[in-house]
Amino acid sequence: MTPVPPHLGILGGGQLAQMLALAALPLGVRVTVLEPDAQAPARLCADHLHAPYTDPAGLDALAACDAVTLEFENVPAEALSALEGRVPVRPGRALLERSKHRAREKEALQAAGARTAPFVAIETGADLDGALGQVGGRGILKTSELGYDGKGQARLSDEDGLRAAWQQMGRVPCVLEGLIDFEREVSLAVARGPGGRVAFGPLIENVHRDGILRTSVCLEGDPHEAQAREIAGRVAAAWDLEGLMTLEFFQLADGELLVNEVAPRVHNSGHLTQDGGGISQFEAQVRAVLGLPLADWRPLLPCAMVNIIGVKDQEADWTGIDALAGTHLHLYHKSWRAGRKLGHVNLVAPDAATLRERLARLERLIP
């Protein structure tokens, strides 16, 4: 008798859901996404329930899956409530509510023993008094919810600027974070199955431009990987993670890692795991969510990623990209918009020196 293939439901149908589905299909996993956008990228490789996230019939269909995961954290609470008790949702509601709210996230990180930048939660105008001094005199004001790729943020160095920025953000709940002098930004993903099995991805070095991730690089033998794994494992256990989450860190001059943010899902920086050999972050999330065998994942070769972002009157040199050895192009089937992530190019090389040389050439080909 032929076994029934596992059925994975995904809340969201963007490029992350598309890449999750592409990783699931070779494992014999059927994928269904609930997504209101008729042109959602995941529609090309998964069953697409074209309906709002709170649609009762759509949620009933997801509840019939073996497990449900998500590609973004800002899922309506009503959708999670409708699925609760009917199907495992991994990561679960408590973790999602924590990670989608910056103040709660930082409090929970500190409770788990992870260090963060100094911060003050801003709920009312009275919270602004002396807040900048509490975080060291310079800070970044961020909306507590929503906001990504540099949106919903303002850098500040005086009280008047802080008050003006809060007014401009609509006086919504915010977090004021102290500015940190750091050596570099790195990230690491951790997956945890329903039985408690934990596995890790590699430590990845990231460079941002205009608040948006530009490049990610993964090299063998990063001396700070063990520290990142220890912190990530501690947070995963404290938060009772089921599924996958990615931690973003600031690395200080003395080598200490501070957690900047947590994403309860696969992350842009981990896209390079698609083409470096071994399993990808997407397969790791599918395995963790469905309770399939899980092990550490990392590229077998040095690799990097460059994001393709919409830039006015400029386009990538597609011929040059194709001619550069080691490139793998991933496009998201999205319409062009300035500042929008339209795809990425993964780059693989036999050694670190060759990777750096090819990466410098690749960055010149992508505006």
Annotated binding site: 102, 142, 147-153, 177-180, 185, 208, 260-261
Residue 150, pLDDT above cutoff 60? no
State what percent of residues in the chain have pLDDT above 70: 98
- Per-residue pLDDT of 308-359, as tens digits, reads 999 988 999 999 999 999 999 999 999 899 989 999 999 999 999 999 999 9
Residue 151's pLDDT band (boundaries 50, 70, 90)? low
Average pLDDT over the chain reads: 94
Tell me which residue has tokens 């994975």.
Answer: 8
Q: Are 285 and 266 in contact (CB under 8 A)?
A: yes
CA distance 285 to 244: 5
Share of the chain above pLDDT 90, in %: 83
Residue 283 pLDDT exceeds 80: yes
* Amino acid 157: pLDDT: 82
* pTM: predicted TM-score of the whole model, two decimal places: 0.93
pLDDT digits (tens, 9 = 90+) for 186-213: 999 999 999 999 999 999 999 999 889 9
Q: How far apart are CA 185 and CA 206, in angstroms?
A: 5
pLDDT band at residue 1 using 50, 70 and 90 as cut-offs = very low
Left (φ > 0), alpha (ψ -120 to 50) or beta: where does 51 sit?
beta
Helix (H) or strand (E) segment spanning residue 302: none
Annotated binding site for ATP: 102, 142, 147-153, 177-180, 185, 208, 260-261
Convert the pLDDT of each residue in 230-259 to its tens digit: 999 999 999 999 999 999 999 999 999 999
* pLDDT band (50, 70, 90) for residue 80: very high
What kind and span of H or E run contains 316?
A: none
Domains of the chain, with CATH numbers? 7-89 (3.40.50.20), 118-178 (3.30.1490.20), 184-365 (3.30.470.20)
The confidence score (pLDDT) of residue 197 equals: 95
